[in-house]
Chains A and B, each alone.
Chain A
Amino acid sequence: MAVVKLNDLKPGMKLTEPVFNINGNLLLREGVELTARHISILKAWGVSQVEVDSQEKTDQRKPELNPQVLCALQERLRTKFFGVLNNEIMREIMRIAEKQAIRKLMLASTRESRG
């Protein structure tokens, strides 16, 4: 499973996820083997990247997040969102914010660990 940018797509690659256009229409199903025509269609719709079948092993090692840091992050968010969480949209925003913050921190720690 690899994410390939549109310009790097070659005919013969096989899709592992379905591809949609900006209107939400299904352009290509998963499992489709790409032809030049398919690639042209993706380019016309401005699909920036797709997931294809690949041989390389993805780095499975997931970085560890310091639990203290995680706690501090959640505390911050809770303070920030205090009093406005009665709305489900606000709860969703907080959830995504937490998710993205954690990811950022993990990426940062990965970078650090890599030196």
Chain B
Amino acid sequence: MGRRLDTVLKQIYTLPTLPVVLTTVLELIRNPKTSAADIGRVISKDQILTARLLKLVNSAFYGFPRRISTVSHAITVIGFDALTNLILATSVLDIFPKENQEGGFDYEGFWEHSIGTAAGAKVIAGFISYNGKEELFVAGLLHDIGKIVEAQFMQKEFLKVREEIHNNAGLMVNEEAKILGYTHARIGGELIDKWGLPASLVEPVALHHEPQLAREFPRQTAAVHLADILCRAKDIGYGGDNKIPPLNPVAWESLGLRISDIEPIMERMETEFEATISALYPSSTSERGTPPGEQKWRER
């Protein structure tokens, strides 16, 4: 079955690639001598990206008390890695469709859920004193990207999966495993690995439904796993099914959180989500208290 996934991906020639500016930045960053000015110069060539980044950096997403007006300034304030992750976040949203078209895949619900999970992962990072909160944010944002791959490049099978979910009221991963032989998590992992993104992003994405298997980045994987669950509990966006996957005990252990942390985390997720969605996804017109994704499905 694993080989099938490889072959499938190989066959997808039209798999999206990361924007050039991002790959350039990733390369530049590998050089220890790079300065904020160097990166700023590269990014400034892309005006839209610059605008998006500055909007994000100046938003409640960061809550920096002073106005940041240049990318290089942004780098000195938030750091190189943080900025790279922000570019990644905004780029990904550019690569894939944001609005729902004909065809049935609920992109809006999908992105809402992804941003919700990203916000959750970022909040959890604070609670476990993990310094890479932007990294976790991106991991959360990308965790379900495999679903888009399925929706765009494996339409027939994916449709079947969605039918089965509706009939059995089950979990997507279970139905995927039955019909496709692999899950969206694994697909997503493969994709971003192909993109050349760091392993610290690949593992959490690939194993967010099987966090106990994470070897190199168990805490990060566990964070994304938990964020996904909390997001579904809070009904933020649509995760593809209406069930909540059980919390993996190994994942909970590796995070070292207390049960009393759950309430504050879920509280903060709310604020974080609001801040992020307005900064990243301004075209979203969805109001809070939107009818759940299931209803959207029925509409179609």
Surface stretch bound by B, among A8-16, A32-40, A51-59, A83-91: A83-91
Q: Which of A77-110 contact B (CB under 8 A)?
A: 79-84, 87-90, 92-94, 96-97, 100-101, 104-105, 108
Q: Does B263 contact A (CB under 8 A)?
A: yes
Q: Does B289 contact A (CB under 8 A)?
A: yes
Chain B nearest CB, measured from A91 CB (Å): 10
Q: Are A101 and B235 in contact (CB under 8 A)?
A: yes
Chain B nearest CB, measured from A65 CB (Å): 13
In the complex, the chain B residue whose C-beta lies closest to that of A81 is: B244
Q: Does A29 contact B (CB under 8 A)?
A: no
Chain B nearest CB, measured from A52 CB (Å): 21
Q: Are B292 and A93 in contact (CB under 8 A)?
A: no
Q: Are B234 and A89 in contact (CB under 8 A)?
A: no
Q: Does B113 contact A (CB under 8 A)?
A: no
Q: Are A93 and B262 in contact (CB under 8 A)?
A: yes
Q: Are B243 and A90 in contact (CB under 8 A)?
A: no
- List A contacts of B12 (CB < 8 A): none
How many residues does chain B have at the interface if contact means C-beta atoms less than 8 Å apart?
24
Known: A76-B292, A88-B259, A93-B229. Contact between A100 and B246, CB under 8 A?
no
- List B contacts of A90 (CB < 8 A): 244, 246-247
Give CA–CA (A83, B241) in the complex, Å: 15
Give CA–CA (A83, B266) in the complex, Å: 22
Give CA–CA (A80, B46) in the complex, Å: 44
Q: Are B262 and A96 in contact (CB under 8 A)?
A: yes
Known: A89-B262, A101-B235. Contact between A84 and B292, CB under 8 A?
no
Q: Are A100 and B270 in contact (CB under 8 A)?
A: yes
Q: Which of B229-250 contact A (CB under 8 A)?
A: 229-230, 232-235, 242-247, 249
Of B230, B243, B247, B270, which one neighbours A80 at CB under 8 angstroms?
Answer: B243
Give CA–CA (A82, B230) in the complex, Å: 15
Give CA–CA (A93, B244) in the complex, Å: 11
- List A contacts of B262 (CB < 8 A): 89, 92-93, 96
Q: Does B217 contact A (CB under 8 A)?
A: no
Known: A89-B262, A90-B247, A97-B234. Contact between A80 and B242, CB under 8 A?
yes
Q: 1/0 contact trace for B261-293 toward A, CB 8 Å?
A: 011001100100000000000000000110010
How many residues does chain A have at the interface if contact means C-beta atoms less than 8 Å apart?
21
Chain A nearest CB, measured from B57 CB (Å): 18
In the complex, the chain B residue whose C-beta lies closest to that of A84 is: B246
Q: Which of B206-263 contact A (CB under 8 A)?
A: 229-230, 232-235, 242-247, 249, 252, 259, 262-263
- List A contacts of B267 (CB < 8 A): 100
Q: Are B246 and A80 in contact (CB under 8 A)?
A: no
Known: A92-B259, A92-B262. Contact between A100 and B234, CB under 8 A?
yes
Q: 1/0 contact trace for A25-50 toward B, CB 8 Å?
A: 00000000000000000000000000
Chain A nearest CB, measured from B224 CB (Å): 16
Chain A nearest CB, measured from B288 CB (Å): 6
Of A79, A80, A82, A105, which one neighbours B233 at CB under 8 angstroms?
Answer: A80
Give CA–CA (A80, B229) in the complex, Å: 11
Give CA–CA (A87, B229) in the complex, Å: 13
Give CA–CA (A82, B259) in the complex, Å: 20
Q: A92-B259, A100-B234 are in contact. List 5 more A-B contacts (CB 8 A).
A: A80-B232, A81-B244, A89-B247, A104-B288, A108-B288
In the complex, 23 of the A-B residue pairs with CB atoms within 8 angstroms, ordered by the A residue number, are: A79-B169, A80-B232, A80-B233, A80-B244, A81-B233, A84-B247, A89-B252, A89-B259, A90-B244, A90-B247, A92-B262, A93-B233, A93-B247, A96-B263, A96-B266, A97-B233, A97-B234, A97-B266, A100-B266, A100-B270, A101-B234, A101-B235, A104-B289
When A and B form their complex, which 4 residue pairs have the shortest distance between CB atoms, in order from nearest?
Answer: A97-B233, A84-B246, A96-B266, A93-B233
